[in-house]
């Protein structure tokens, strides 16, 4: 069972955070909220989302799982205004999710969760760097990197956080000084990542005051930030591109 | 003879109302105003436009017909500001229409009216539903329908007006309650229409306070609303898509 | 040696003035400022740019030449805000130009100036018309012309400046009256030009109060206007399209 109402901007932010990486997902419903864990089609990146019942205006749910086509949902939600209250209601008999706002009723056919990619276990990694940066800094560094290359290097050096990219001819460096970092663990180490995923993630992350980055040397990066006015969280893990030795 | 001036926004609205359906049209000029009737290339839809002399700042016309390339006109008028007063003058000797605004003179070569598709007679249909809805309601229902399908169903049920669409997986319903309708004739009946035409019409209709819809069960729909601050009217007729019996 | 700082809007305006015509250029540095002269790939148009040291917040330069990929520079500068102060520094050892703004460092690999097209000598032409018009008039006349044709005719007649275009069916005339002209030399003469170049130039020119046009009958046009709040200038020369005699 699942019947809830939620502000439009919170729902749209949550769906966009998922579509940054995956087109469809299994959504787990409990009495306390909803969660989703998915791996991208290329097996390079994972996402884990959690929204507590505090994210909702009203919430009633019991244990269950449904499959969502996130691309169709995101398209339908384009018509939702920030201040709209969106009604969500699961019809278990017909396998549909009813989405209501501004007089419009969308009826979304659920996917069979057993046909979706298996939910990944996001591994606990003991990595030497854990630091929070402002979402706008994250966005600026990535956007500048896109100007010159398809890959970006992220990590720390000399107590600063560095986002840099090296293209065929031109290069970019964006250095976030120590006084703009919230450091949990610091070390001198960097890893290289495809901008494909990060370009989409930066659009969701730019509103976050604190984007937490956990990384090391040639290791995956974990990117975590709050969703829906801190009533939920999104966490991405992206595999590094390990450079061949020259 | 035709020589007139008209506010930019009224002229642009009128031309857009026609290009929603057809690329070229015969324009009939009388002492009292201008009219046009055209059928679309696929013979599925018709449009009839009337602009009285009250739509114009100044107006002088005598009986005659000219052929217009509406696509070229619409492109030229993109440079017109809402508040511009546009001068229109027919040069019968050279078969040109002179359009002047903001210091620019466009000279439009007229088409030979005898080469254009024959003017249709828009049939008088005795249909069971005649109701007016707000242009924004019309737009919202159609826009939501476009999210899930290429066809839309319109009609009445239980004193409400319904715009709905059913795609391969998802569906949309937009119900306009009785208290937002101006009903002339009511009945429970719906018809199915291609969104191709309606998508373009909704952009012109959204400014109208009252969009009048005349329809029945598996019959054409007539869509009527005022143009140019109620000094003219536009009327569309669109054939239904009759579903095969299962 | 070259080390300077400049306001973002001035640098962007200067680079756009060059990319209107060419993708790469040799940049000449002196103690007093920077200059560039380039011919377009089709050998139909030339551009000469000069920026005095007054354009810069700080300036230090000694005689030298570098090669710039203007397309990459323009893309990098998209992230610059108008009010940003941009740092420029030449590293002669590594053949790179360092561009710094808002915490971002772009490192641009210089082109070898000897591989670039030879700098043209922009000829002194003794042409019968020299007149200044407002950048917005220049833009309006060209934009209207683009609606109907690929070529535009510019010149004077009866003390007015005329921008006109004749397409297959439709035509445009834009007449700038005598009281909006600053005339140095007047004559009745026009020439025909491809809109390809002028379309790009009009975007840079539209901000200029005075766009100076020097032209004659079937001769090239020179288009000159100030850059960077009158601390520099840009000058284009475009070959005419000489019509075949009928």
The residues in B 38-57 lying below 8 A from C, measured between CB atoms, are none
pLDDT band at A141 (very low <50, low <70, confident <90, very high): very high
Across chain A, mean pLDDT equals 95
Of C143, C173, C176, the CB nearest to B105: C173
Task: Determine which of A22-31, A160-169, B110-119 has the lowest per-residue pLDDT on average.
Answer: B110-119
d(CA A126, CA A184): 13
DSSP β-ladder status, C104-109 and C189-194: unpaired
Mean pLDDT on A7-18: 97
User: CA-nearest residue of chain C to A147?
Assistant: C76
The residues in A 58-117 lying below 8 A from B, measured between CB atoms, are 69, 72, 75-76, 78-79, 102-109
Return the HEC string of chain B.
Answer: CEEEEEEHHHHHHHHHHHHCCCCEEEEEEECCEEEEEEECCCCCEEEEEEEEHHHCCEEEECCEEEEEEHHHHHHHHCCCCCCCEEEEEEECCCCEEEEEECCEEEEEECECHHHCCCCCCCCCCCCCEEEEECHHHHHHHHHHHHCCCCEEEEEEECCEEEEEEECCCCEEEEEECHHHCEEEECCCEEEEEEHHHHHHHHHHHCCCCCEEEEECCCCCEEEEEEECCCCEEEEEEECCCCCCCC
Residue B115 has pLDDT above 60, yes or no: yes
Tell me which chain C residues have a C-beta less than 8 angstroms from the C-beta of A175: 103, 105
- Please answer yes or no on whether C170 and B102 come within 8 Å at the CB atom: no
Q: What is the pLDDT of residues C177-192, one digit of tens each?
A: 999 999 999 999 999 9
Q: Return the half-sphere exposure (C-beta side, CA atoms, 13 A cut-off) of residue A184.
A: 14
Mean pLDDT on C219-226: 97
Ramachandran sector of residue C3 (left: φ over 0; alpha: ψ -120 to 50; beta: rest): beta
DSSP β-ladder status, B64-69 and A232-238: unpaired
User: CA-nearest residue of chain A to B147?
Assistant: A76
Q: What is the pLDDT of residues A81-104, one digit of tens each?
A: 988 999 999 999 999 999 999 999
User: What is the pTM assigned to this prediction?
Assistant: 0.92
Question: Predicted ipTM?
Answer: 0.91
pLDDT band at C139 (very low <50, low <70, confident <90, very high): very high
pLDDT of the residue at A244: 62
Residue C29 has pLDDT above 60, yes or no: yes
Q: Measure C168 CA to nearest chain B CA, in Å.
A: 9
Say which residues have a Cβ less than 8 Å from residue C66's Cβ, sequence separation at least 6: C2, C26, C27, C29, C90, C97, C110, C111, C113
Q: Measure B99 CA to nearest chain C CA, in Å.
A: 10
pLDDT of the residue at A124: 87
Structure-block tokens of residue B108: 């439009």
pLDDT band at A245 (very low <50, low <70, confident <90, very high): low
pLDDT of the residue at C94: 95
Sign, CA torsion A170/A176/A178/A179: positive
Measuring CA to CA, how many Å separate B119 from each of A7, A246, B111? 51, 75, 15
Q: What is the pLDDT of residues B73-105, one digit of tens each?
A: 999 999 999 889 999 999 999 999 999 999 999
Tell me which chain B residues have a C-beta less than 8 angstroms from the C-beta of C172: 104-107
pLDDT band at B242 (very low <50, low <70, confident <90, very high): confident
Tell me which chain B residues have a C-beta less than 8 angstroms from the C-beta of A72: 148, 169-170
The residues in B 202-231 lying below 8 A from C, measured between CB atoms, are none
pLDDT band at B122 (very low <50, low <70, confident <90, very high): confident
Which of C147, C164, C165, C202 is the mutation pick for testing B, counting most B CBs within 10 A? Answer: C147
Mean pLDDT on A115-126: 89
pLDDT of the residue at C12: 97
Q: Measure C219 CA to nearest chain B CA, in Å.
A: 25
Residue C162 has pLDDT above 70, yes or no: yes
d(CA C143, CA C141): 6
Q: What is the pLDDT of residues B145-175, one digit of tens each?
A: 999 999 999 999 999 999 999 999 999 999 9
- Residue environment code for A193-206, b if the CB has 16+ CB neighbours within 10 A, otherwise e: bbbbbbbbbbebbb
Residue C211 burial (CB count, 10 A) = 24
Say which residues have a Cβ less than 8 Å from residue A208's Cβ, sequence separation at least 6: A134, A135, A225, A226
- Please answer yes or no on whether C171 and B79 come within 8 Å at the CB atom: no
pLDDT of the residue at A159: 96
pLDDT band at A72 (very low <50, low <70, confident <90, very high): very high
User: CA-nearest residue of chain A to B168?
Assistant: A109
Say which residues have a Cβ less than 8 Å from residue B243's Cβ, sequence separation at least 6: B192
The residues in B 138-197 lying below 8 A from A, measured between CB atoms, are 140-141, 143-144, 147-148, 169-176
Q: Measure B224 CA to nearest chain A CA, in Å.
A: 24
- Please answer yes or no on whether C108 and A147 come within 8 Å at the CB atom: no
């Amino acid at each position: 069972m699942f019947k809830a109402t939620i502000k439009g901007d919170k729902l749209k932010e949550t769906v966009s955070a998922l579509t940054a990486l995956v087109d469809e997902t299994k959504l787990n419903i409990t009495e306390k909220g909803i969660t989703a864990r998915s791996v991208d089609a290329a097996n390079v990146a994972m996402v884990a989302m959690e929204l507590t019942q505090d994210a909702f205006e009203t919430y009633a749910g019991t244990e269950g799982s449904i499959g969502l086509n996130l691309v169709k949902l995101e398209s339908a939600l384009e018509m939702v205004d920030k201040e709209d209250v969106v009604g969500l209601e699961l019809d278990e008999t017909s396998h549909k999710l009813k989405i209501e706002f501004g007089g419009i009723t969308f009826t979304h056919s659920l996917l069979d969760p057993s046909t979706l990619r298996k939910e990944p276990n996001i591994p606990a990694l003991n990595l030497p760097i854990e630091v929070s940066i402002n979402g706008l800094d994250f966005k600026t560094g990535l956007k500048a990197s896109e100007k010159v290359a398809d890959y970006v290097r992220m990590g720390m050096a000399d107590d600063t956080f560095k986002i840099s990219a090296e293209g065929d001819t031109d290069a970019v460096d964006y250095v976030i000084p120590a006084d703009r970092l919230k450091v949990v663990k610091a070390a001198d180490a960097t890893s290289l990542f495809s901008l494909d995923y990060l370009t989409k993630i930066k659009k969701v992350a730019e509103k976050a005051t604190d984007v937490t980055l956990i990384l090391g040397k040639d290791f995956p990066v974990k990117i975590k930030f709050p969703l829906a006015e801190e009533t939920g969280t999104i966490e991405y893990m992206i595999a590094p591109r390990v450079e061949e030795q020259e």
